[in-house]
Amino acid sequence: MEIKSVILAAGKGTRMKSDTPKVLHKIFEKTLLGYVLDNVKNITTEDFVIVGHHAEEVTEFVNKNYNNAKTVLQSPQLGTGHAVSMVCPYLENYKGQVLILCGDTPLIKEETLKAFIEYHNSKNSDLTVMSTIFENPTNYGRIIRDTDNTLKYIVEEKDATQAQKAVKEVNAGIYILNWDKIKPAFSQLTSNNAQGEYYLTDIIAWGKKNNLNVNAFILENSDEIYGINSRKNLAEATKIMNIRKLSELMDNGVTIVDPDSTWISEDTEVGADTIIYPATYIEGKNKIGKNCKIGPCAHLRGNVEIADNCKIGNFVEVKNSKINHSTNAGHLSYIGDSELGANINIGAGTITANYNPITKVKSKTIMKDHVKIGSNTVIVAPATLEEGVNVGAGSVITKDIPSWALALTRAPLKILTDWVKKAN
């Protein structure tokens, strides 16, 4: 059955204390909303992002990065139920399923969402909500079950009694529903609650009242629905995501020398027998091959491809570059917007000068196989160094260099005998 998603991203995020919309804050240089959209892209045929606060910025982000997503404005913002109702005109004759998520929960996994949908279908459910167990359920809506343990309704904390607040099963904020069965609920919700809003959670009680099949899927790993409401939450979510990624890499044969000081994005692939040394930070989307050595104190900034048997050493920064096998950049270098061939050696202090601050243009450096770069060299892009080129230490390269040539721009050395004694 076809599935479309509705992602709630209209909130102000007041506690973030930021001019940036909450869902556009980043973890490893990827937005919170980006994580959610990426986690549904293999599941859904179309995604609706509900926008409100800073709607223009969020819309620009979605339009620029996601072809199958569109934004829908919620104004005024009258609650989560009202937010979902904004898509009703777009789904007038739709007969499939709708997956509802929050734009500030970047830790949810694609495989979890698939298991959630599978559970919904196996139960022949009309509406399924995801729940989880929290020892401290403060700030979450509580899942209230009937005497036979079936799902009865969800109560928001501000509307809950003391007995209901003691319930540890909470609403994870993710729903899957058969749209043609549940769509009428959105015209029948009321705002008779402490917030004076139209709650999405009320569709559970509505479904029960209308004799629909309503169920709850209990998520075992509650970390996956950790929501971002503050800078502290953002930091905690980053830690959770990082620990999860490092564990996955180590299970797959990657050595992480010091997990406490190593940070690697979810969108980075690393081959077996690669060693990641301490204080290394890898953000964005990258692919690192087998038997590489990365760090210590290396920084990969995204869109980096490193083939097998390479070394990216201490205080080396790489971004938007491809590096072929058996190439080494040992220390204190910057490689940006570059293509490096195989069996290259980059001397200490080498800079690919890729950015023109006047024209704002970033240009490309290309080095073919077997190039050797001496220490303290600047390569001013655009520049191509053909196969086998050697560059002497201390050079500034501003032109293309032909194969197997030696390139030097070093000024002649002058030695003034006894100059120091005479100066004193």
Q: Which amino acid is at 399?
A: K
Which pLDDT score is estimated for 12?
85
Residues 6+ apart with CB under 8 A from 92: none
- Are 131 and 208 in contact by the 8 Å Cβ rule? The answer is no
* HEC string for 213-246: CEEEEEECCHHHHCCCCCHHHHHHHHHHHHHHHH
Residue 1, classified by CB atoms within 10 Å of its CB into exposed (0-12), middle (13-18) or buried (19+), is exposed
Residues 6+ apart with CB under 8 A from 292: 270, 271, 274, 275, 306, 308, 309, 310, 311, 312
Which pLDDT score is estimated for 195?
84
> What CA–CA distance (Å, rounded) separates 391 from 407?
5
Sign, CA dihedral 159-164-169-175, equals: negative
* HEC string for 340-396: ECCCCEECCCCEEECEECCCCEECCEEECCCCEECCCCEEECCEEECCCCEECCCCE
Residues 6+ apart with CB under 8 A from 307: 289, 323, 324, 325, 326, 327, 342
> What's the predicted TM-score (pTM) here?
0.93
Q: Which residues are the active-site residues?
A: 331
Which pLDDT score is estimated for 146?
87
Domains recognised in the chain with CATH numbers: 3-225 (3.90.550.10), 231-407 (2.160.10.10)
Which pLDDT score is estimated for 411?
86
Place of tokens 């080095």: 367
Angle at 158 between CA 152 and CA 160, to 5 degrees: 40
For the chain, 424 residues long, the average pLDDT of each consecutive 10-residue run is 97 91 97 98 98 96 97 94 96 96 97 98 97 91 90 90 94 96 94 87 94 95 94 97 98 98 98 98 98 98 98 98 98 98 98 94 97 98 98 97 96 91 85
Instruction: Using alpha carbons, select from 8, 7, 27, 22 the residue that is nearest to residue 240.
Output: 27
The first and second tokens of residue 162, run together, are 């003391």
